[in-house]
């Protein structure tokens, strides 16, 4: 009798797949909006297997097995995480800066030049330097993105309500119809024309809340050279996301 009432296999929160002899953990999620099985590799995280609401675990496992070669190739190309450590290098507005701990307990991060090399002087104990630098970068990003957002809003005749810095794993920005814009703070690490493109992109959503031809025409109207920033992000975005992770 039990054969006719077998319970449906539960969908686990994660699973493991072998890539080149190494065990790789894959996060498993059910997305109410998903229409099919999907495997993704976020910019600064491990693989994610997404199931539709009525997905079956056996089908999901089979799908994951079929995607083995794709995932292996993507993992090989994935950039290494770049944490903010003393002596490390981080780009600021597209220019590499050496991170140097000052040993001072108080003070703010300062820009300087040392024997022809641009440096970031970071105060605080070694254990807190990464957090201090991240907080400072977020402030710098907020200032830059606020200025460029206001510029594009004026050109397009719209109003931005609030601007907040986020640390999304796969998005550079988001915009609500009420005028609230979230940006990924890592944009301050990119060349200024890249940050400018994302600002134009998100502000343009206040005119067109979609990605239609009309939307892209709106972005180009306020930023004629939008293709430059868009192409840079496509080529270098994954590496940019790896910083501060």
Per-residue pLDDT tens for 189-212? 999 999 999 999 999 999 999 999
65 contacts 44 by C-beta, under 8 angstroms: no
Is residue 2 scored above 60 in pLDDT?
Answer: no
Q: Which of 69-83, 167-181, 193-207 has the lowest mean pLDDT?
A: 69-83
**pTM score, whole prediction:** 0.74
Whose CA is closest to 102, among 90, 117, 120? 120
Report d(CA 36, CA 98) in Å as an integer: 45
pLDDT bracket for residue 37 (50, 70, 90): very high
How high does pLDDT run on average in the chain?
A: 91
173 contacts 202 by C-beta, under 8 angstroms: yes
pLDDT bracket for residue 179 (50, 70, 90): very high
Please state, as a whole number, how many other Cβ atoms lie within 10 Å of the Cβ of residue 126: 11
Q: What is the maximum span of the chain, computed from C-alpha positions, in angstroms?
A: 81
The contacts of residue 112 (CB under 8 Å, 6+ apart) are: 118, 119, 120, 121
Over residues 225-245, mean pLDDT: 91
Q: Could you tell me the sign of the dihedral formed by the alpha carbons of 228, 230, 234, 236, in that order?
A: positive
């Amino acid at each position: 009798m039990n054969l006719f009432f077998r319970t449906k296999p539960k969908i686990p929160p994660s699973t493991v797949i072998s890539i080149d002899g190494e065990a790789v953990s894959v996060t498993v999620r059910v997305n109410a909006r998903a229409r099919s099985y999907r495997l993704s590799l976020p910019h600064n995280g491990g693989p994610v297997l997404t199931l539709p609401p009525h997905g079956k675990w056996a089908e999901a496992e089979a799908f994951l097995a079929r995607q083995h070669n794709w995932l292996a190739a993507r993992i090989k190309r994935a950039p290494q995480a770049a944490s903010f450590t003393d002596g490390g290098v981080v780009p600021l507005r597209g220019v590499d800066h050496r991170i140097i701990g000052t040993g001072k307990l108080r003070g703010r991060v300062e820009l300087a030049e040392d024997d022809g090399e641009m440096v970031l002087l970071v105060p605080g104990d070694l254990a807190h330097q990464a957090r201090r630098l991240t907080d400072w970068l977020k402030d710098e990003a907020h200032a830059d993105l606020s200025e460029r957002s206001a510029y594009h809003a004026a050109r397009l005749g719209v109003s931005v309500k609030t601007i907040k810095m986020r640390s999304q794993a796969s998005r550079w920005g988001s915009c609500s119809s009420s005028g609230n814009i979230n940006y990924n703070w890592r944009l301050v690490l990119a060349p200024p024309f890249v940050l400018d493109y994302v600002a134009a992109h998100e502000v343009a959503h206040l005119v067109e809340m979609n990605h239609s031809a009309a939307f892209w025409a709106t972005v180009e109207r306020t930023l004629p050279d939008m293709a430059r920033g868009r192409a840079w992000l496509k080529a270098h975005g994954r590496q940019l996301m790896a910083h501060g992770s």
